[in-house]
Chains A and B, each alone.
Chain A
Amino acid sequence: MRFRPDFFIPFYRAYHFGTIKKVVHLLLCDMVKQERNISFLRAVARRIRQVREELGAPQEKLQFEKRIFLAHIENDERNISVTMLLDICRAYGITLADFFRGMEPYEGALITSDPIITEALKKEEEDGKETI
């Protein structure tokens, strides 16, 4: 058995987890500079709202089925994961390409792809078809 005196409280039980996170963030934010493209996240948040209003589905549907809180994402402009965005798009029945196609322009956006990359991708597709 492990030795556990009564006065010993693990630090994660004694303090609210949010406070620990804030303190750690304050300590680290000088060392690790978080580079986030805020205009991109804002554009994503607006696009999610736009899609929701176009299709007329309520926020609560996703909230109950997938436990995704759209209100947080839309208002806080959160940096959500790709799979979460995929879940949102699937719930509304659109593809991710459609999602990003209708998005408003943001800072540092690439409108046209690099020609070298697009040509290389086409070549690769053709090669794949030949082998099959």
Chain B
Amino acid sequence: MAKKRFDEEALRRIVDMLITLRELRGEYQRDVVRATGLNIGLIETGRRNITIGTLERLCRYYGISLVRFFEEVGL
């Protein structure tokens, strides 16, 4: 197994923020998958490193700007 080079703690925080956003909207993972076509189950476990394209699409779907998102996360 190759050693993971990315910052897992930061990714964990981003993923937690995505989960809280989804819960604030009162949606299930199923709804997000239908709307965006992203494998949100795999993303929210934090095992997969997400790309900026994916994050941008999710943020647009949740109705939050990327600036506001990272202000909330604190990165």
Which residues of A come within 8 Å of B, CB atoms?
A: 35-37, 40-41, 44, 79-87, 95-97, 100-101, 108-114, 116-118, 120-121, 124
Neighbouring A residues of B37 by C-beta, 8 Å: 35
CB distance from A31 to the nearest CB of B (A): 13
CB distance from B28 to the nearest CB of A (A): 17
Q: Kindly report which residue of chain B lies nearest to residue A96, judged by CB atoms.
A: B70
Give Cα A95 to B10, complex, Å.
Answer: 12
Extra inter-chain contacts (10) besides given A79-B52, A121-B72, CB under 8 Å: A37-B53, A82-B14, A82-B52, A83-B11, A86-B75, A109-B65, A116-B63, A118-B64, A121-B24, A124-B20
Subset of 5 A-B contacts with CB under 8 Å: A82-B10, A101-B67, A108-B60, A113-B65, A114-B64
Give Cα A40 to B58, complex, Å.
Answer: 13
Give Cα A83 to B49, complex, Å.
Answer: 8
Give Cα A121 to B10, complex, Å.
Answer: 20
> Which residues of chain B (29-75) have a CB below 8 Å from chain A?
37, 49-53, 55-57, 59-60, 62-68, 70-73, 75
Give Cα A116 to B63, complex, Å.
Answer: 9
Give Cα A111 to B66, complex, Å.
Answer: 9
A40 touches B56 (CB 8 A): yes
CB distance from A118 to the nearest CB of B (A): 7
Give Cα A110 to B62, complex, Å.
Answer: 10
A100 touches B67 (CB 8 A): yes
Neighbouring B residues of A110 by C-beta, 8 Å: 59-60, 63-66
Q: Kindly report which residue of chain A lies nearest to residue B10, judged by CB atoms.
A: A86
A81 touches B7 (CB 8 A): no
Give Cα A111 to B56, complex, Å.
Answer: 13
Neighbouring B residues of A116 by C-beta, 8 Å: 63
CB distance from A65 to the nearest CB of B (A): 12
Neighbouring B residues of A83 by C-beta, 8 Å: 6-7, 10-11, 49
